[in-house]
């Protein structure tokens, strides 16, 4: 690292007040969150902060001046900046909910202007100011834990509000973990005729005992018997919409994945996902004599080695 | 699964954040944690926001009212940036003729 005095543009004789002043001036121009478009801001901010960390404390500064510690002594751990999150979808601090479903560009601009109108007065839009005549209500934020099936199939549910009362929430079909729903006008009441605020509900999806989700596909493991594996057959499989008959081909092994087309998550406007069924052969709890006798016999004439390829290139 | 931190975990994650200061941020509604059955929970974005607030509070000696104004402006800036980016992406998907026309119109504006 560079000399902290050089980084802050100071002489070795700088006073504590001068250090503070220099630091303040530099971070104004280099704090990544105050300069979101400046790609070099983070590196500069780190260097400036490290230099300041070293010099702001008179004891540490004295040790540095005496050569007891070097300039790297003040490295900071990596940190994520607010600007990294600020434009992400679902950022609850954003003003206005972005573009709603509207195909016509004219509608989009009308929506932008509508949001600007509702977020406050005369285009300055700050509910913190003293506009005095009307202000939109406060936005509320909630979390909601949703059972897996309610999230994939969609459901109506109610959340109990900490301030009393409850709120009906329509969970859209195919909602995934972390999705934030916006309930327009369900936030705090507006002032002086202003719009009510919105309620934002972030979903956490509770895992299911049987089903897992990968994109719009639903994964499930299906135990089958030895005879089903050898002879094939039809077995009932649970899907997110109820039991479905699945044909097991003859002679399948554990790990074979069968696809039930269109039985996955059906998000509106997207092609339905599939259900993927991974087979797992399960032996009966007790292997009877008849079965073991048969296999003893069978083994004599059948020498199939599924591990044959495993030892290629491996010392045995 | 989504990452949510409790109030205690948040205080742990940001050593310079005091309980007093966090309460003040929440009361001023500059930080808006989610409400869970167990009390407030903080997302990664809240933590990054709190770090920034600590910077501003410490280095510029801003109080909650001043922080409110700064954050309100910053939030509006980010919203506009996001909207602008969406429009830029929509324009980029248009044919060269349409893009040229929009480009010419923007030059006229400037």
Rounded CA gap, B76 and B79, in Å? 5
Contact B45 A92 (CB under 8 A): yes
| Burial class of residue A122 (count of CB atoms within 10 Å of its CB; 0-12, 13-18, 19+) | exposed
Q: Per-residue pLDDT averaged across A194-206, rounded?
A: 84
Bridge partners (DSSP) of residue A213 are A218
Bridge partners (DSSP) of residue A304 are none
Q: Which of A61-65, A74-78, B50-54 has the lowest mean pLDDT?
A: A74-78
B contacts of A81 (beta carbons < 8 Å): 48, 51-52
Q: What is the mean pLDDT of chain A?
A: 82
B3/A contact by beta carbon, under 8 A: no
ipTM of the complex model:
0.75
Determine the residue among A83, A143, A175, A188 to mutate to test chain B binding: the one whose Cβ has the most chain B Cβ atoms within 10 Å. A143
Q: Is the pLDDT of residue A115 over 60?
A: no
Contact B44 A95 (CB under 8 A): no
Say if residues A97 and A106 touch (Cβ distance below 8 Å): no
A124/B contact by beta carbon, under 8 A: no
Cβ count near A267 (within 10 Å): 17
Closest CA to A222 of A267, A175, A176, A263: A263
Q: What is the pLDDT of residues A14-42, one digit of tens each?
A: 888 889 888 988 888 889 888 888 878 88
Closest CA to A203 of A163, A171, A162, A244: A171
Bridge partners (DSSP) of residue A168 are A158
Say if residues B55 and A27 touch (Cβ distance below 8 Å): yes
What's the whole-model pTM score? 0.51
Q: What is the pLDDT of residues A166-199, one digit of tens each?
A: 888 899 999 988 888 888 888 877 777 778 888 8
Contact A142 B35 (CB under 8 A): yes
Contact A82 B35 (CB under 8 A): no
Contact A88 B49 (CB under 8 A): no
Q: What is the pLDDT of residues A284-316, one digit of tens each?
A: 999 999 999 999 999 988 888 888 888 877 766
Q: Is the pLDDT of residue A81 over 80?
A: yes
Q: What pLDDT is attached to residue A227? A: 93
Question: 57-96 in B: which are within 8 Å (CB) of A?
Answer: 59-60, 65, 68-69, 71-79, 81-83, 85-86, 90
Give the residue ranges of DSSP H helices in B1-110.
Answer: 7-13, 19-27, 44-59, 64-92, 96-109
Q: What is the pLDDT of residues A40-64, one digit of tens each?
A: 888 888 888 888 888 888 888 888 8
Say if residues A284 and A258 touch (Cβ distance below 8 Å): no
Q: Per-residue pLDDT averaged across A139-150, rounded?
A: 86
Say if residues A152 and A240 touch (Cβ distance below 8 Å): yes
Q: How many helices, marked H, and strands, marked E, lie in chain A?
A: 9, 11
Say if residues A238 and A221 touch (Cβ distance below 8 Å): no
**Residue found by looking up tokens 């930080």 in the block:** B31
């Amino acid at each position: 690292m560079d000399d902290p005095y050089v980084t802050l543009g100071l002489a070795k004789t700088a006073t504590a007040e001068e250090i503070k002043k220099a630091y303040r001036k530099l971070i104004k121009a280099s704090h990544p969150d105050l300069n979101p478009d400046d790609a070099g801001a983070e590196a500069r901010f780190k260097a400036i902060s490290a230099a300041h960390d070293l010099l702001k404390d008179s004891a540490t500064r004295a040790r540095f001046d005496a050569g007891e510690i070097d300039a790297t002594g003040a490295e900071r751990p990596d940190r994520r900046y607010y600007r990294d999150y600020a434009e992400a979808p679902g950022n609850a601090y954003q003003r206005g909910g972005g573009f709603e479903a509207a195909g016509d560009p004219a509608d989009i601009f009308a929506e932008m202007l509508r949001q600007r109108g509702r977020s406050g007065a005369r285009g300055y839009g700050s509910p913190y100011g003293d506009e005095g005549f009307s202000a939109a209500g406060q936005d509320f934020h909630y979390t909601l834990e949703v059972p897996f099936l309610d999230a994939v199939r969609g459901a109506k549910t109610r959340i109990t509000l900490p301030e009393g009362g409850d709120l009906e929430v329509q969970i859209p079909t195919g909602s995934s973990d972390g999705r934030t729903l916006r309930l327009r006008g369900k936030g705090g009441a507006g002032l002086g005729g202003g719009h009510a605020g919105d309620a934002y509900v972030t979903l956490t999806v509770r895992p299911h005992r049987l089903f897992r989700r990968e994109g719009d596909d639903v994964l499930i493991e299906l135990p089958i018997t030895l005879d089903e594996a050898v002879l094939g057959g039809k077995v009932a499989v649970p899907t997110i919409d109820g039991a479905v008959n699945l044909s097991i081909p003859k002679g399948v092994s554990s790990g074979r994945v069968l696809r039930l087309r269109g039985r996955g998550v059906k998000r509106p406007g997207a092609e339905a996902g599939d259900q993927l069924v991974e087979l797992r052969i399960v032996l009966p709890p007790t292997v009877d004599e008849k079965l073991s006798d048969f296999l003893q016999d069978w083994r004599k004439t059948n020498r199939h080695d599924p591990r044959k390829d495993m030892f290629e290139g491996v010392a045995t | 699964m989504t990452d949510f931190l409790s109030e205690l975990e948040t205080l742990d994650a940001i050593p310079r954040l005091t309980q007093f200061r966090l309460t003040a941020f929440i009361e001023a509604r500059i930080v808006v944690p989610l409400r869970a059955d167990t009390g407030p929970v903080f997302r990664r974005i809240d933590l990054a926001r709190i770090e920034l607030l600590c910077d501003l509070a410490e280095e510029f000696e801003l109080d909650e009212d001043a922080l409110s104004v700064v954050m309100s402006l910053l939030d509006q800036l980010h919203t506009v940036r996001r909207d602008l980016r969406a429009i830029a992406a929509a324009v980029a998907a248009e044919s060269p003729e349409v893009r040229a026309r929009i480009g010419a119109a923007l030059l006229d504006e400037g």
